[in-house]
Amino acid sequence: MDNVYKGRLPQVKQQIIEMALNGSGIRETARVLEISPHTVLKELKKRVPS
């Protein structure tokens, strides 16, 4: 896990979803998981039905 961006890890993606379901905001989630807010938003958009 030397040069792998944390936002690509499946467990981090799962944490993004769990934090969103528990009411955490995008910036808070990004800060806690140490990833960019853009990554959080991108992951959440994948989960929203059109």
**3-class DSSP state for residue 1?**
coil
Could you list the residue range(s) of the whole structural domain that residue 41 is in?
A: 8-47
* Residue 40 included in any domain: yes
* Residue 3 included in any domain: no
Q: Is the pLDDT of residue 3 over 80?
A: no
User: How many structural domains is the chain composed of?
Assistant: 1
13-26 tens-digit pLDDT: 999 999 999 999 99
Q: Is the pLDDT of residue 45 over 60?
A: yes
* Residue 25 included in any domain: yes
When pLDDT is cut at 50, 70 and 90, the band that residue 12 belongs to is: very high
* Residue 14 included in any domain: yes
| Least confidently predicted of 3-7, 9-13, 36-40 | 3-7
* Residue 2 included in any domain: no
pTM of the model: 0.84
CA distances, 2 to each of 13, 19, 41 (Å): 18, 25, 24
